[in-house]
Chain A
Amino acid sequence: MYRHGDVFIATGEISKGAKQLPHCVLAEGEVTGHRHEIEEPSTADLLQFRGKLFLRVTAKQATLVHQEHKPIALPKGDYRIWIQREYEPKAPRGFRNVSD
């Protein structure tokens, strides 16, 4: 499992029926506009299924970058992606994604 700020990445199977997204931005800061994204979009595909994000690294490796966090090199393979959560008693499931 990798951690890039408030974004987690772990190897995992990509759900069947996941649709490819037209970009490679894993998450975007709400107030800063900073992005967690794949530096070279041709090296990986970002997919989505029922609100869940998946990443398929198609090149030998793909580099995850952000304006403030150091880059992480992801080797070829399939990954699950999720965002750090925060306890929020008023939220439907008792938590919400960290918003930055």
Chain B
Amino acid sequence: MSQRVFEFNDGTSHKFWHIQLVGYRHTRTFGRVGSKGRQTTKQFANKKEAQESLDDLVYEKRAKGYVEFDETGEPLPSKPLRPKKPKAIDAEEARWMVLDNKFTDGVSYEGNFDFRGAFYKRRRTRAGRTRKKSKPVDLPNFLTAHRVDMSDCDWVKEIPFGWSVAELILSGCKNFKTIGEEFVCYHLDASNTAIVSLPDDISVDYRINLAGCTKLTSLPENLKVTSLDLTDCTSLTELPAGLEVSFLNISGCTSLETFPKHGSIQVGNLIATGCTNLQKLPPWLGALSQLNIEDCPNIKKLPKSLTISSWLDFVGSSLTSLPRTMRNFPLRWRGVPIDYRTAFQPHRLKGRQIIAEENVERRRVMLAQMGFEKFLTEVDAEVLDSDTDTGGERKLVKVRMENDEDLVCVSVICPSTDRQFVIRVPPRTRTCRQGIAWTAGFDDPDEYDVVKET
């Protein structure tokens, strides 16, 4: 191992201190700068013990103010020094730390820090004075806590060095940009913040939520986390190589064009709605529970290795069929479960089949797929009446059924969703108005008096 070089200079004394690990022993050289210095060597029982001793000595020197230099003689950026032992505090101390804004590095608290109210609604200081406004909290390095909630705190700009927090909530901190190194967390929620990237050595076990971070441009390579939410990260142009997740949401990431060459999304889901520039799905995509590629117009096919157990939603993509091996995938049409024929072979749908479908949502999708006009022609429908309401044109149609009473349906357009629905009404119905009033439970259409409809 190469030698590590440290120097100390406080104006009155200028000293050097070098240390080198060789095998089971380390050698220290130290003295005044300009002198040859003295040398001591210490032997250990094994390499691990030698390394531990070296780390301890380096720590001591750094604590004393020694600065490390690299091989070229440039000083290394000085990282804050992690305290040897975190200082455990109780709830009372934690409360005063927030109120007084006096944090020390390396504090460990088993409970929750809530900076939202503590900062803005702070009314009384310890001396009993009232203050309306206070300065932003000076956050400490190496904070250990169970949960830290800073949602919507505009004064938070960065998370300092070495935090270890089970849950860190930063959602809505619109000036928040960076997280310090050596960050360890279970659940990080930094949604709707101005974050640009994550530190390379970030360690989050369960979930990272970066939804709505429109300034996010990069993520660290080999990022590994169970669930990653990148909804509407519109500046993100690529995902990191070696990404390893179970649940990934990239909906609305409109600048994203490709997936990295290698990575893994296993077991959970990939939600990619509205990724308008995404060209294709990665070949390494394996077993998923759910896949949503709604409104990804450039996706024309699915990777060969893909299997889906729960559902595939594909409306608005360019998928026109599925290979035989994938025909067992359960399909959804914007959330409505449908069969393969309705999805990919609407020309094989029969008008009678649509009439026979009991579920009105499924019937609506079948109708949309077949086309209302084609449906009317195919079932030889007679239009009895038509008018308009808030949603658009309404039609009352009659279909003659052999050996059965006539089928009379009213077709309406939903004002919220613009979707066309067909609802069966009694055969004696003569007008759209009468039909719709009947569906609301009124035999007299004049009683149907809707003031607001959505």
Contact = CB atoms under 8 A, between A and B. Distances in A.
B359 A2 contact: no
Given A3-B452, A99-B358, A68 B417 contact: yes
Contacts of B9: none
B449 A31 contact: no
Contacts of A98: 360, 423, 439
B440 A31 contact: no
A84 B438 CA distance: 9
Contacts of B414: 5, 69
Contacts, number: 79
**Interface hub of B425, B441, B448 (most chain A Cβ within 10 A):** B441
A86 B417 contact: no
Interface residue range, chain B: 20 to 34
Contacts of B417: 68-69
Contacts of A71: 454
Contact of A2 (B423, B438, B439, B452): B452
B280 interface: no
A33 B336 CA distance: 9
B416 A5 contact: yes
B335 A34 contact: yes
A22 interface: no
Interface string B347-368: 0000000000011111000000
B23 interface: no
Interface string A15-55: 00000000000000111111000000000000000000000
Chain A binding surface SS class: loop
Interface in B403-427: 405, 408, 414, 416-417, 423-427
Interface string B425-454: 111000000000011110000001111111
B337 interface: yes
A87 B452 contact: no
Given A31-B337, A31-B362, A86 B450 contact: no
| Pairs A-B, 6 closest by C-beta atoms | A70-B454, A3-B453, A69-B416, A87-B424, A32-B335, A100-B361
18 contacts: A1-B451, A3-B453, A6-B360, A29-B361, A30-B359, A31-B335, A68-B416, A68-B417, A69-B416, A69-B417, A72-B452, A85-B440, A86-B424, A89-B405, A99-B358, A100-B359, A100-B360, A100-B361
Interface of B: 335-337, 358-362, 405, 408, 414, 416-417, 423-427, 438-441, 448-454
